[in-house]
């Protein structure tokens, strides 16, 4: 079998010899690497209050409980306001009786 | 009164690769930044053998260094960090060859319109090259080889790596590497003959 030794492809040898003399472009990838590593998922960093909130509200049970509380609060406010108005009206009635004698 | 500058814990000239890797494993990106500064030139030099186009080369260097960071836990001190990084860069180059071969295949099999667009992009790329004409020429010649053959030729001829080292870098075994090299050279010889290139200008 014929062997393709280096003398058989001396043209290619010369080509690669000249190619080896060529210098690569000046490349600085530090910023890109840092940016890519900063934004990679699962990267560990200091936990702040926002992470805490996101952590708490990421659970559906917590979200449902908060929603139930909000609805209950919304329903309670008109009722308590109604009671307050009623008691104020009574006070007004007593005051007018005292002032006017009626 | 002049304020004394606090000395960085990752002072480039003092801290060893091992210490920097230990810090980087704990998530210290400034430590990894120092490692990137130390090795990006050699990695660029190696990947330039795989890809002489500046924009693609930049992407490849980034990819290799990001891959290395994500695999820092796998580095063992039995090999130097530089040598381990070089192995990752070689694999990144190999992936690039495989990807470009797939793109070349899809170009042939794609629609006429898609081929036209791809050819225009290729022409644009060719127009912008001026910096490394011989490297471009080599890549044109080895372009039709299979990715693994291209890889062996790149390491053997452009990087001047002995076959034994190539085998170690690729975890291939020496005989497999020799066979790949033999086949690649035979194909190259046929190709050069077919195009009538007997003497390099």
Can you give the three-state secondary structure of chain A, one letter per residue?
Answer: CCCCCCCCCHHHHHHHHHHHHCCCCCCCCHHHHHHHHHCCCCCCCCCCHHHHHHHHHCCHHHHHHHHHHHHHHHHHHHHHHHHHHHHHHHHHHHHHHHHHCC
3-32 in chain A: CB under 8 A from chain B: 3-5, 8-9, 11-16, 18-22, 24-25, 27-30, 32
pLDDT tens readout for residues A34-83? 888 888 765 655 556 666 676 666 667 777 888 899 998 888 877 766 66
Angle between helices A30-38 and B54-70 (to 10 degrees): 50
CB distance B40–A27 less than 8 Å?
Answer: yes
Q: Name every residue whose Cβ is closer than 8 Å to that of residue B69 and which is 6 or more positions away in sequence.
A: A33, A37, B24, B32
Q: Domain-by-domain residue ranges, chain A?
A: 47-102
**Distance (Å) from the C-alpha of residue A37 to the closest C-alpha of chain B?**
7
**Distance (Å) from the C-alpha of residue B109 to the closest C-alpha of chain A?**
30
pTM, rounded to two decimals: 0.67
CB distance B200–A14 less than 8 Å?
Answer: yes
CB distance B40–A45 less than 8 Å?
Answer: no
pLDDT at B12: 61
Question: Residue A29 is nearest to which of B27, B40, B132, comparing CB atoms?
Answer: B40
Q: Would you say the ipTM is above 0.90? A: no
88-107 in chain B: CB under 8 A from chain A: none
Question: Residue B66 is nearest to which of A3, A20, A33, comparing CB atoms?
Answer: A33
Nearest chain A alpha carbon to B33? A30
CB distance A4–B58 less than 8 Å?
Answer: no
pLDDT exceeds cutoff 90 at A86: no
pLDDT at B38: 95
pLDDT at B14: 78
Question: Residue B199 is nearest to which of A3, A11, A40, comparing CB atoms?
Answer: A11
**Can you give the pLDDT of all 201 residues of chain B as single tens digits?**
334 444 445 456 678 999 999 999 998 899 999 999 999 999 999 999 999 988 899 999 999 999 999 999 999 888 899 999 999 999 999 999 999 877 665 555 555 665 565 556 555 555 555 578 899 989 988 988 999 999 999 999 999 999 999 999 899 999 999 999 999 999 988 888 877 666 544
pLDDT at B101: 77
């Amino acid at each position: 079998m014929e062997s393709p030794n280096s003398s058989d492809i001396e043209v290619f040898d010369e080509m690669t010899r000249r190619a080896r003399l060529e210098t690569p472009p000046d490349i600085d990838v530090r910023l890109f690497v840092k940016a890519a590593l900063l934004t990679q998922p699962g990267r560990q960093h200091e936990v702040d209050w926002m992470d805490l909130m996101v952590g708490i509200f990421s659970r559906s049970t917590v979200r449902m409980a908060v929603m139930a509380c909000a609805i209950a609060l919304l329903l309670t406010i008109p009722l308590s306001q109604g009671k307050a108005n009623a008691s104020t009206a009574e006070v007004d009635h007593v005051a007018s009786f005292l002032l006017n004698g009626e | 009164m002049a304020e004394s500058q606090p000395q960085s814990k990752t002072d480039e000239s003092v801290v060893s690769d091992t210490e920097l890797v230990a810090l980087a494993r704990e998530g210290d990106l400034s430590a990894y930044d120092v490692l990137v500064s130390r090795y990006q030139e050699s990695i660029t030099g190696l990947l330039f053998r795989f890809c002489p186009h500046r924009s693609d080369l930049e992407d490849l260097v980034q990819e290799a260094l990001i891959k290395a960071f994500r695999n820092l836990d796998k580095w063992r001190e039995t090999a130097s960090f530089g040598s381990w990084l070089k192995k990752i860069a070689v694999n990144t180059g190999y992936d690039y060859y495989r990807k470009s071969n797939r793109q070349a295949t899809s170009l042939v099999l794609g629609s006429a319109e898609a081929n036209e667009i791809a050819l225009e992009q290729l022409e644009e790329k060719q127009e912008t090259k001026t910096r490394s004409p011989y490297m471009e020429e080599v890549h044109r010649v080895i372009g039709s080889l299979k990715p693994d053959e291209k890889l062996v030729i790149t390491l053997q001829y452009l990087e001047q790596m002995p076959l034994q080292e190539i085998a170690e870098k690729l975890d291939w075994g020496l005989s497999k590497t020799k066979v790949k090299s033999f086949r690649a050279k035979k194909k190259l010889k046929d190709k050069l003959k077919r195009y009538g290139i007997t003497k390099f200008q």
